[in-house]
Every structure is written in C-alpha cells, then in structure tokens.
Amino acid sequence: MKRSIFLKIAGGYAAVILILVFLILIFSFRTLKDFYIETSANNLKNLGLVLSPEVSRLLNNGRTNELDGLAKSVGPKINIRITVIDPDGRVLADSEKSPETMENHSTRPEIFDAMRGKIGESIRFSTTVEQDMLYIAIPLTDENAGTAGVLRLSLFLKDINSLITNLKTKVLQIAFIITAFFMLMALLLSRTLSKPIRDLASAARNVAQGNFGMKIFTKNRDELKELADSFNYMTTQIKKYFEELSRQKEEVDTIISSIQEGLLLLDSQGKIIFCNDSIKGLLKVDNLTEKPYWQIIRIPELNELIKSVRAEKKNFTNKIEFDEKTFLCSATFLNPGERIVIVFNNITGIKHLERIKKDLVINVSHELKTPLTAIKGFIETLEGENLGSNSRHYVDTIKTHVDRLINIVQDLLAISELEDRGARLELVNVNLKSLLENTLKIFDQKVNEKGLRVTLIAENNLPEIKGDSYRLEQMLINLIDNAIKYSEKGEIRISLQHHGKGVEIEIRDTGIGIPREHIPLIFERFYVVDKSRSRKLGGTGLGLSIVKHIVLLHNGEINVESAPGVGTKFTITLPLNP
Ligand code: ADP
C-alpha cells in the first residue's frame, strides 16, 4: 500500500504523543500512589505518637480491658484500626476484633521492628480482615524504659486506592484533552508540511507528460520554497532545451528528407527504423519503417553488403544495380547500438556519361586506326623510293609520329576493352617460359641497338598456368618494352619461379629507376613520370595501366620496387588457375 508523506508525518507525531502520554500517565500514577502512601504513613505515625502515652499508661497499669475499650471507641471514629500487642506478640486490644480470637503477632514484620525499638512499617494483605493494609507499629515503653508492648495503627489501602482512582480519572481526562489537542496540531502540521511536496509531485507528473509550462507557488519560506524555485527553474530550462532540440530535429528531418540520396537506418536486427522520402520513391513503397529490410528490398548485392558490414563491423561501399539504375551504396556501421546507415547514391547518370566517353574513345580509336594504317603503308612505300636527304628526314619524322599515334590508338583500344565490365579471358594452358622466349624475340633489334644484355632464368619443371595467352603476351611486351626503353646500359633479367599456388615473374632492369613519390601513381591511366622523356621514347602513359588490368583479370598481383639510378623490378604473381 502506498504510504503518503502526510500519513507518515501524522502517524509519527501520533505515535510520539501517545507514547509520551502513556509514559507520563504511568509515572504520575506511581508517584501519586507513593505520595499518598507516604503521607498516610506519616499521619499514622503522628497519630501513634499522640496516642502512645495514654496507651502506655493503661498498659503499664495492667488495665487491659480499658485498653481494648479505648481501641474500640477511637478506631471506628477515625476509620483506623488500632491494635495493642504485648512483648510476646499477644494481642491485648483491637478496635475490630476480640483480642482473644487473634493469633500471635510477634512474626509480623512491623511488630518485629517495633519490638526492637524502631517504628515498624509494612504494607500487606491482612488475613484477619482480608484486605491490603498499611501498618505502622510504635514501640511502647514501661517505667524502666523497657519495651512494654507495641501500638499498631492500620489503614485500609482500599481507601487510598479509591482516592487514587478518583485522581486517575481526572488525570486521564486531562491527558485525553491534551492528547486530542496535540493530535489535532499534528494533523494540521503534517498537512502543512506535506502539501507543498504533494504539489511538487503533481507538477513533476505534469512535466513528465510534456506540460513544461507547469509552475509551483508556495507560501513556505523554507527549504521547500527553495525546492519549488529550483523546480520552476528546471522546467523553464527543460522547456528551452526541448524547444531547441525540437527545432534542431525539424531542421535535420527537413535536410534528410530533401537530400537526393536515399537513406536507410537499420537496427541491430535489420529492422528499418528510419528512412527518407527519396528511398521511399526509389523503392516505390510508402511505409518502410518498423519492417525488416529483407521483406521490402530484395536485392542480393545489398544483402551481401549489409552482411559484410555486420560481420566485419566496418564500413563498405558497393555498386548496386536495380530498377535499371546504378547506385553507389555506402553502408556505415554505427558502434553504439550496432545500427547501419545505408546511403543510396544514384550514379546512373555518371555511369551513362562514362559509357558515352568510353564509346567515343573506342569509336574514335577505331576510326583513326584505318587511316593511320594506310598512312603507315604509304610511308613504308615512300621509304623504298629514292629520296633526297631532306625528304628522307621528313619521312622519318612522319613515321615516328605515325608510330606514336598507332601506339596510342592501340593502347586506347586495349584499355577500353579491358575496362569494359564484360571483358573476359580466353583461358588456355600457357607455358610462360616459351611465351617469354617468343616475346623477347620481338625486342632483339632494340636490345642490340642499345647494347643491353637480356637474361631469362626459368626454374625447372615450372608448371603451365591457365591464362589468356594474347593478353599475357601484351602484358610482357609492355613490361619488357619499358625495361628496354628506360635503360641505357646494363642488363635486363627476367626470372620465372614457383610461388605458392602460382608462378612469379620478375622483370628487373638497371635503368633510370622511378622516384619514390611517383611509384604509387605509375599504374594510373596516362600517368608519366617525365612527360618530355616519355614523349621522346614514344610512351603513352597507358602501358602499366594495361598491365595492371591484365594481372587483375588473372587474379594475380603486381608489385614494383625501384630506385633512381639503380633500376626497377616488377614482380607479378599469377595463380595456376585464375
Ligand atoms: P609509358 O608509355 O610512358 O612508358 P607506362 O604506363 O608504361 O607509360 O609507364 C608509366 C611511367 O612509369 C613511365 O612514364 C615511366 O616514367 C615509368 N616507368 C615504367 N616502367 C619503368 C622502368 N622499367 N624504368 C623506369 N621507369 C619506368
């Protein structure tokens, strides 16, 4: 059961008041009784001392009958029992009973004390009158100052008790009035103390329900007032921050809704917890939230992307095609909560432009190829003619430029073909050693002209690999051509060896080398380290790009190590079966 503060305070006060009143009553009843008994005992002692000379006189003269008469006439008048006992404990006179019928009193404690010269006092149950009594025994002396007997005065305690009961009733009445008064005060005080707390609790409930305009006004001037002021300040601040947050959220919502990219937020279970309008438009679904993504988006590549992100807890980007469009999907893993944000960037337009560009390059290259071949044919015919030295010089220059143009066109066609997503390898068994031997023959003349040494070292029992022999030849031509082109002296060493589950081809030259900062860029299209040198040597900047494409199509790897002035080493690893 809920116990309110009011009940707790009021209950506490009531308990304290009741315990106090109870203790005071017990204490005062006891004190009252003790006080009455003490007063009565003193009165009895005084009375005894007043009566004792007359009683002693009659006792010393042996006038026992008169003594008994005195007791019986005085006792009832003053409502006190008077008894006279001789030193042997025999009763000589008694105001209530006939002395002969009474038993020996020597063993009574008060008589015992009085026989020894002290005033005896005792409260006991009297077997004679069958009531609680207060006894006072006064020692009586004879002419020789010896003990002549004892004068005992007894008072019925029931008289004291009825007196005390009267008093108790009055005290109880007063106690009841006081208790009732204090209880009322306690109730009022509890109410005053608990009201501001109740107000505060109800205001806090209101705030929790979003009513931030809630204020508390209290008449108190104490800590509760401070609490109320702090509460009011707190609600004002919360209202301010809440409004600011709502404004920011609205802004963010508007931005997210208006961006072109589709946006999805998935929880750790794959449920869509947020999405923007663009993605709804893309997927042609109105209500996406609170549903698992796989129920709505059935794109295998996207499933794979999400699985990879979740498994590796890393961000991934992938091209995804659906609904005849191409999207660049970036999936970001959010660590707290293991959520995933996926942004769908529509790159269909860019892809289309790229396609147009590639088509243009291929078409232009094809268109150029025929006239260039014709020009080269005519130049070769001209070369056979008997020309003057000037004309021969012109023909040689035209031939160099036409060769360069033919190279560019061939490289452009090759790279366009390789970059085409549909590029396929025509796999056959390739003996790399024979392929290299044949390729090297192409360069015999150039090698001799430059005075270079070419060595081919092949490991014994080298296995054949599965590969596209035409493209592999193209790759080797480009690499060996570069090695010869960029070496003025020394040696070109080509080695073939087993490497794991494949074959490693190493082409090492002692040429000009490549500066360190250029090495990461040399595989990019049209990248040349030294433009004028490359142009002079007939380079297009496409050779290594073609090489890299061919290696990757064979699932291989290519690495380069080079030092200017020392030489360059290309290492290609090709698997036995791509
Ligand atoms: P290019 O047709 O100009 O040779 P490549 O793509 O084949 O273009 O090579 C890119 C650049 O890398 C070249 O311009 C050249 O500077 C550098 N390079 C390639 N191979 C070598 C090599 N064996 N020695 C020194 N430099 C080289």
Q: What is the CATH number of the domain that holds 336?
A: 3.30.450.20
For ligand 1, is residue 486 a contact (CB within 6 Å)?
Answer: yes
pTM: 0.51
Among 523, 528, 536, 550, name the best residue to mutate to test ligand 1's pocket (greatest count of ligand atoms within 8 A of Cβ): 528
- State how far the Cα of 352 lies from the Cα of 349, in Å rounded to an integer: 5
401 to 371, 405, 439, 531: CA distances (angstroms): 14, 6, 24, 16
For ligand 1, is residue 480 a contact (CB within 6 Å)?
Answer: no
- State how far the Cα of 550 lies from the Cα of 50, in Å rounded to an integer: 146
Model pLDDT for residues 407-446, shown as the tens digit of each residue: 889 888 888 888 876 678 889 999 999 999 999 999 999 9
Domain tally, the chain: 4
Residues 6+ apart with CB under 8 A from 471: 418, 425, 550, 553
The predicted pLDDT at position 145 comes to 66
Nearest alpha carbon, ligand 1 atom 11? 528
Sign of CA dihedral 126, 129, 132, 135: negative
Label residue 1 by pLDDT band (50, 70, 90). Answer: very low
For ligand 1, is residue 487 a contact (CB within 6 Å)?
Answer: no
- State how far the Cα of 513 lies from the Cα of 515, in Å rounded to an integer: 7
Cross-strand partners of 456: 494
Structural domain contains residue 332: yes
Which of 164, 192, 223 finishes a domain? Answer: 164
For ligand 1, is residue 512 a contact (CB within 6 Å)?
Answer: yes
- From the alpha carbon of 478, which atom of ligand 1 is closest? 7
Mean pLDDT of 261-265: 90
Residues 6+ apart with CB under 8 A from 173: none
**159 and 10, same domain (yes or no):** yes
What would you measure as the largest C-alpha separation in the chain, in angstroms?
A: 200
- Element containing residue 153 per DSSP (H, E): strand 147-156
Which of 146, 164, 182 finishes a domain? Answer: 164
539 Cα: distance to centroid of ligand 1 (angstroms):
8
Among 132, 260, 194, residue whose Cα is nearest residue 6: 194
Q: What is the CATH number of the domain that holds 374?
A: 1.10.287.130
367 Cα: distance to centroid of ligand 1 (angstroms):
27
Model pLDDT for residues 338-371, shown as the tens digit of each residue: 899 999 999 999 989 988 988 888 888 889 988 9
Among 479, 491, 510, 522, name the best residue to mutate to test ligand 1's pocket (greatest count of ligand atoms within 8 A of Cβ): 522
23 to 20, 128, 182, 485: CA distances (angstroms): 5, 37, 16, 118
CB 509, CB 495: distance < 8 Å: no
CB 568, CB 514: distance < 8 Å: yes
Model pLDDT for residues 61-77, shown as the tens digit of each residue: 888 889 999 999 999 99
Nearest alpha carbon, ligand 1 atom 23? 483
Mean pLDDT of 290-311: 88
Which of 329, 346, 363 finishes a domain? Answer: 346
Model pLDDT for residues 473-518, shown as the tens digit of each residue: 999 999 999 999 999 999 999 999 998 889 999 999 999 999 999 9
575 Cα: distance to centroid of ligand 1 (angstroms):
25
Decide: helix, strand or coil at residue 497: strand
- From the alpha carbon of 540, which atom of ligand 1 is closest? 2
424 Cα: distance to centroid of ligand 1 (angstroms):
26
Decide: helix, strand or coil at residue 331: strand
- Element containing residue 575 per DSSP (H, E): strand 567-575
The predicted pLDDT at position 150 comes to 93
Structural domain contains residue 189: no
For ligand 1, is residue 482 a contact (CB within 6 Å)?
Answer: yes
- State how far the Cα of 336 lies from the Cα of 413, in Å rounded to an integer: 50
Cβ atoms < 10 Å from Cβ of 573:
19
513 Cα: distance to centroid of ligand 1 (angstroms):
9
For ligand 1, is residue 93 a contact (CB within 6 Å)?
Answer: no
**43 and 156, same domain (yes or no):** yes
> Across the chain, what does the average pLDDT equal?
88
Question: 455-467 b/e with 16+ CB inside 10 Å = b?
Answer: eeebeeeeeebeb
Nearest alpha carbon, ligand 1 atom 2? 539
**482 and 389, same domain (yes or no):** no
- From the alpha carbon of 546, which atom of ligand 1 is closest? 6
504 to 311, 385, 476, 499, 531: CA distances (angstroms): 33, 48, 13, 6, 31
Q: Is the pLDDT of residue 298 over 80?
A: yes
- Element containing residue 75 per DSSP (H, E): helix 64-78
Structural domain contains residue 175: no
Q: Is the pLDDT of residue 220 over 80?
A: no
**55 and 42, same domain (yes or no):** yes
Q: Domain range spanning residue 116?
A: 5-164
Give, as one character, the DSSP assignment of residue 89: S
Structural domain contains residue 218: no
**457 and 374, same domain (yes or no):** no
Mean pLDDT of 318-342: 90
Model pLDDT for residues 49-107, shown as the tens digit of each residue: 999 898 988 888 888 889 999 999 999 998 899 999 998 899 999 998 899 888 898 88
Structural domain contains residue 251: no
**438 and 407, same domain (yes or no):** no
Q: What is the CATH number of the domain that holds 543?
A: 3.30.565.10
Label residue 25 by pLDDT band (50, 70, 90). Answer: confident
Q: Is the pLDDT of residue 201 over 90?
A: no
- From the alpha carbon of 541, which atom of ligand 1 is closest? 8
For ligand 1, is residue 522 a contact (CB within 6 Å)?
Answer: yes
Structural domain contains residue 568: yes
**361 and 478, same domain (yes or no):** no
559 Cα: distance to centroid of ligand 1 (angstroms):
14
Q: Which residue has the higher pLDDT, 570 or 131?
A: 570
- State how far the Cα of 266 lies from the Cα of 296, in Å rounded to an integer: 13
Among 228, 236, 282, residue whose Cα is nearest residue 259: 282
Label residue 277 by pLDDT band (50, 70, 90). Answer: confident
Q: Which of 375-389, 434-448, 525-539 is predicted most confidently? A: 434-448
**371 and 332, same domain (yes or no):** no
For ligand 1, is residue 528 a contact (CB within 6 Å)?
Answer: yes
What does the chain come to in residues? 578
**526 and 404, same domain (yes or no):** no
> Exposed/middle/buried for 414, CB within 10 Å: 0-12, 13-18, 19+?
buried
**549 and 437, same domain (yes or no):** yes
522 Cα: distance to centroid of ligand 1 (angstroms):
7
Mean pLDDT of 453-465: 93
Decide: helix, strand or coil at residue 172: helix
38 Cα: distance to centroid of ligand 1 (angstroms):
131
For the CA atoms of the chain, what is the radius of gyration? 63
Amino acid making up residue 363: N
**556 and 445, same domain (yes or no):** yes
315 Cα: distance to centroid of ligand 1 (angstroms):
35
Structural domain contains residue 142: yes
**342 and 355, same domain (yes or no):** no
3-state DSSP percent of the chain in helix, strand and coil, to 5: 55, 20, 25
Nearest alpha carbon, ligand 1 atom 21? 482
Nearest alpha carbon, ligand 1 atom 16? 529
Cβ atoms < 10 Å from Cβ of 309:
22
Among 484, 486, 521, 558, name the best residue to mutate to test ligand 1's pocket (greatest count of ligand atoms within 8 A of Cβ): 486
348 to 325, 356, 458: CA distances (angstroms): 5, 12, 48
- From the alpha carbon of 538, which atom of ligand 1 is closest? 2
Structural domain contains residue 245: no
Nearest alpha carbon, ligand 1 atom 14? 528
449 Cα: distance to centroid of ligand 1 (angstroms):
20
